[in-house]
Structure 1
Amino acid sequence: MSQLYFTPGPAELYPTVAQHIQTALAEQVGSISHRSAAFRKIYQHTDEQLRALLNIPSSHAILFTGSATEIWERVIQNCVEFESFHCVNGSFSQKFYDTANDLKKFTHLFEKPLGQGFDYDDFVKVTDGTTEDTSGKVKIPDYVELVGLTANETSTGVQMRGVDINKLKRSYRSKLFCVDMVSSAPYHSLDFEEVDSAFFSVQKSFGLPAGLGVWIVNEKCLAKAESLKAKDNVIGSYHSLPSLWKNYKNFETPETPNVWNIYLLGKVAEDMNRVGIETIRRETDAKAKKIYDFLEKTEGYEPYVKNPDHRSPTVAVANTIESSKELIERIKKEGMIVGSGYGKAKDSQIRIANFPAVSMEQVERLLQAMKPV
């Protein structure tokens, strides 16, 4: 029996992917050179569709890597000479922070307990050299070059709302802001006139096979990388930001990339543009409300994230009384697969992906299967 995947990545394939794979086979996409006009056309199409979907201005490039995990390293190498600042409240934001430490940067940490999120009001606002009352709030240090934020912590189902990210950047305009939106793009609305860099992988909300990272990055980051290179800092080799950007200007890549997934991403982004990003966000919110209402009202469940403002619309995490392993097996018998809790929470939580690939009717079917026996 075919399974329906509510796992937080890899996830259910977007409904049109199978059709696009057939077209790619017919067009022999897997055989073309990454130095060919055919590939440049594919790259340009994907660039245009993502730019329209996420409202990305011309000041930003859209670059491709092997994974989102790789981008943690590229960002730190290319945008930080000495100091970075990280908001950590889960395993993936922790790994971004750990990457900076591994690369021998001086790291500042603002940490919250698992299940709790960050708001604009957690921070001291700094504008034109003036600050507000600092009591009980965190100030991003003056010498920090880059601020690393996680829009959607996949391990715990906690979001930092786009409005808070955008407002925080406006209070610290001199610093580079990089946002991990791995499991929330295209849902999260970021102001790319302000946010310098963001990244995601395609096997989550875009509903594609794994194997492609997408790095959205602006000219300020490029200038920083070039200044570091001029000082003989190590910023990487063929996947350094200047190298990626130089090739991007011709819609090429430094090496043979995942041409299949770049092609598929462009097609799925085009499909999403036909639906409309506001419709996608509205439908995501409606499905999320249905899921969280069920978790709050059904015996044996509770939302892990207590503050509704911090609950992720795209990855809902639930505490379960029933063994999560037994629950997952029970749901699997009904033709659906949900994710287990992450790390130490594996046996006491489940994670439900609420990506655009699944419909309201499918969510309702899942919740029916989740009812206590």
Structure 2
Amino acid sequence: MKYTFYTPGPAQLYPSFEQHLQTFVEQQLGSISHRSQQYRALHQHTVEQLRTLLNVPATHAILFLGSASEAWERILLNCVEHESYHLVNGSFSKKFFQYAQALHKFAHKLEKPMGQGFDASEVEVPEYAELIGLAHNETSSGVQMRVSDIHKIKRSNPDKLIAVDMVSSAPYPDLDYSLIDTAFFSVQKAFGLPSGLGVWIVNEKCLQKAERLRKYDNLTIGAHHDLPTLWKNAQNHETPATPNVMGIYLLGKIAEDMNKIGVEAIRKETEQKAKLIYKFIEQHEGFEPFVQESKHRSQTVVVANTKQPSSEIISTLKAKGLVLGSGYGEHKATQVRIANFPATSTEQVEDLIKALGEL
């Protein structure tokens, strides 16, 4: 049986994935040298397509890592000397905070229960915090922070770096990168690709901080993948180590496909599909939205409380070829998570709603 995946990562593969994978194999791109002009052209193409799609200015480098989780570590090592501040309202925003503790940074947090979101007006950043870490979209709980609030936090704290986790939302958020120092995502969610590639968007202020920490404070900012080394290689469309050539190639092709559609059209369709899903779970007696405040509800990962065990719902739908995500952590048995990524069409969302309604 061929399945349609509504899981929040790994997720449904983008419709053109198979075609691009076949081209990659036919052109034997998996065997080319990562120091060749052929690779550099491939790398450059992917960066240029992402710049267009996400509206990333030349002040920011686009770097490739092994995962978004690696980005947490790179950001903390290269951009924080002593103190960081984290908005925590779910498992992944908490992990960013915990990474800071593991790296022996003095980490502050403003924490809310899962399912609740943040407004800029309630965020008071400690005086000595150097970096603000937050999740635009908390994958575990289905809470999305309004982009306007992210921008307000930066405007209120211009001397501090701000790091945005958009792992399960990019390319949906329309971030103003004149106000965003660094952001990151991985490809196995909204870009509809297999896992194994992280993307780190980072500006010159972060680079300068990393260079200062290494040169003047004699701090460890990493070895092979410290920010200055990554940045230097990126200027030549390369990476310090042998990269995930297939992942980078496929990401460039998917980003190119998305650019042909237009990011505004993708955002509009995302919102239309989310509206259909939320309308169903609000009106169906077997479900209710986990995130109570509509202004904080994710447009890309919808989380619903279920009256019957979520495992029963998941297994019933899987028998019909529809695969849902379970709740995260302690909510595994009482929630379902529904990914609303570009790889799933409006028609597929309507098919899911129909199947849920027949339970």
Both proteins in one fold, TM over 0.5: yes
**Could you give the per-residue CA deviations for residues 1-51 of structure 1, whole angstroms, max 9, x where no partner exists?**
100000000000010110001111111111111101011001100010000
Contact 1:206/1:265 (8 A) holds in 2: yes
- 2:304 & 2:240 partners in 1: Cα distance? 43
Does residue 85 of the first structure (1) align with residue 85 of the second (2)? yes
**Could you give the per-residue CA deviations for residues 140-195 of structure 1, whole angstroms, max 9, x where no partner exists?**
11211000010000000001111111121111111000000000000011110110
Does residue 10 of the first structure (1) align with residue 13 of the second (2)? no
The alignment partner of 1:254 has SS state of: coil
Contact 1:288/1:313 (8 A) holds in 2: yes
The alignment partner of 1:362 has SS state of: helix
Does residue 150 of the first structure (1) align with residue 155 of the second (2)? no
Match of 2:350 among 337, 352, 364: 364
- Listed as ranges, the matches of 1:168-247 within 5 Å are 168-230=153-215, 231-247=217-233
How far has the Cα of 1:198 moved from its partner?
Answer: 0.1
Contact 1:317/1:349 (8 A) holds in 2: yes
Does residue 277 of the first structure (1) align with residue 263 of the second (2)? yes
Does residue 249 of the first structure (1) align with residue 235 of the second (2)? yes
| Aligned counterpart, 1:135 | none
Which residue identity lines up with residue 7 of structure 1 in the other structure? T
Contact 1:303/1:317 (8 A) holds in 2: yes
Which residue identity lines up with residue 261 of structure 2 in the other structure? V
Does residue 263 of the first structure (1) align with residue 249 of the second (2)? yes
Does residue 67 of the first structure (1) align with residue 90 of the second (2)? no
How far has the Cα of 1:299 moved from its partner?
Answer: 1.2
**Could you give the per-residue CA deviations for residues 299-356 of structure 1, whole angstroms, max 9, x where no partner exists?**
1100000000100000000000111001000110111100000001000000000000
**Could you give the per-residue CA deviations for residues 235-261 of structure 1, whole angstroms, max 9, x where no partner exists?**
001110011001001000000110001
- 1:286 & 1:209 partners in 2: Cα distance? 26
- 2:33 & 2:204 partners in 1: Cα distance? 28
**Could you give the per-residue CA deviations for residues 35-93 of structure 1, whole angstroms, max 9, x where no partner exists?**
01011001100010000000000000000000000110000000000000000000000
Contact 1:53/1:269 (8 A) holds in 2: yes
The alignment partner of 2:220 has SS state of: coil
TM-score between the two structures when normalised by the length of structure 2: 0.99
- 2:158 & 2:258 partners in 1: Cα distance? 31
| Aligned counterpart, 2:101 | 101
The alignment partner of 2:280 has SS state of: helix
Which residue identity lines up with residue 235 of structure 1 in the other structure? I
Gap regions ≥5 residues in structure 1: 124-138
- 2:268 & 2:144 partners in 1: Cα distance? 17
- Listed as ranges, the matches of 1:17-56 within 5 Å are 17-56=17-56
- 2:226 & 2:187 partners in 1: Cα distance? 21
The alignment partner of 1:170 has SS state of: helix
| Aligned counterpart, 2:114 | 114
**Could you give the per-residue CA deviations for residues 104-129 of structure 1, whole angstroms, max 9, x where no partner exists?**
01111101111000112223xxxxxx
- 1:371 & 1:323 partners in 2: Cα distance? 16
| Aligned counterpart, 1:301 | 287
Identical counterparts, % of pairs: 60
Contact 1:316/1:353 (8 A) holds in 2: yes
TM-score between the two structures when normalised by the length of structure 1: 0.95
Deviant stretches of 4+, over 3 Å: none
| Aligned counterpart, 1:341 | 327
Does residue 350 of the first structure (1) align with residue 332 of the second (2)? no
Match of 1:166 among 141, 145, 151: 151
Which residue identity lines up with residue 12 of structure 1 in the other structure? Q
- 1:29 & 1:292 partners in 2: Cα distance? 43
Which residue identity lines up with residue 305 of structure 2 in the other structure? N
- 2:213 & 2:138 partners in 1: Cα distance? 30
Contact 1:300/1:372 (8 A) holds in 2: no
- 1:330 & 1:204 partners in 2: Cα distance? 24
Contact 1:157/1:317 (8 A) holds in 2: yes
The alignment partner of 2:140 has SS state of: coil
Which residue identity lines up with residue 225 of structure 2 in the other structure? H
How far has the Cα of 1:372 moved from its partner?
Answer: 4.8
